[in-house]
Structure 1
Amino acid sequence: MAFNNILTFSFYKRFNFLIVVRLALLFSNIIIIERIFGNEKLFFTQIILALILIIQLLDFVRFINQTNRELARFFLAIKHSDFTITFNQRELGKSFSLLQESMISIINSYKDVKIEKEAQFHFLQMLINQIRVGIIALEENDIILINTTVEEILHTKSIKNWKLLQQLRPDFTNLVHEVGENGRKLLEIKTDGINSGYLSVDVGTSYILGKETKLITFQNIASEIEQKEIEAWHKLIRILTHEIMNSVTPISSLTETIQMMLNDRDGNQRQPKDLTQEIINDIRFSLSTIQKRTDGLLQFTEDYRKLTRIPKPKREPIILHKFFNTIIALLRPQLEEKNIEIKTNVGSDLMLVADPILTEQVLINLLTNSIYALNGRKDPKIELKGYREGSSIVIAVTDNGKGIGSKEISHIFTPFFTTRKDGSGIGLSLSKQIMSDHGGTIKVGSEVDQGTTMLLLFKS
Structure 2
Amino acid sequence: MKEKLRNILLERSDDISRDWQERIAKLVPEWSEETLKSFMQEMMTALYIYLLDQKLQAAMRHIHQILNDYFPAASEGATILINSFLLNRYILLAKMTEQGESALNSLEVFGFLNDLYNPLVVAVFEQYHVTNQPLMLPEQFSSSCITNLNALEFAGVGFFVLDRDATIIYWSRGVEKIHNLKANKVVGRNLFEHNPEWRHQTLLESAILSALQNGEGKELTDIKMRINKEKFIFNILIAALFDARGLPVGCSILIHDVTQQKSQETQLYRYEQYFENILNDAADAIILLNENHRIIMWNLAAEHLFGYSEEEVFGKDLSLLLHNTQHSLDEMGQMDQMVIDKGFVRNQRMRMLARDGRNVLVEITRTVLRNKRNDFIGSSVILRDITQQEQLRQQVIQSEKLSAVGTLAAGIAHEVGTPLTSISSLAQILQMKVENQEFKDKLSLIQQSIDRISRTVRTLVDFSRPLTEKVEDIYLNNVIEHVVRILKYDKRLKHQEIIVELEPSIPLVRASFDQILQVFINICLNAADAMEGHKDGRLLIKTWSNSRLVCASITDNGSGIAKRDISHIFEPFFTTKKDGKGTGLGLWVSYNIITSFSGDIKVESIEGSGTTFTLSLPIHLK
| TM-score, length of structure 2 as denominator length | 0.33
| TM-score, length of structure 1 as denominator length | 0.42
Query: Which of the pair has the greater relative contact order for Cα pairs under 8 Å at 6+ separation?
Result: 1
Greater share of helix: 1
Could you say which structure has the larger radius of gyration? 2
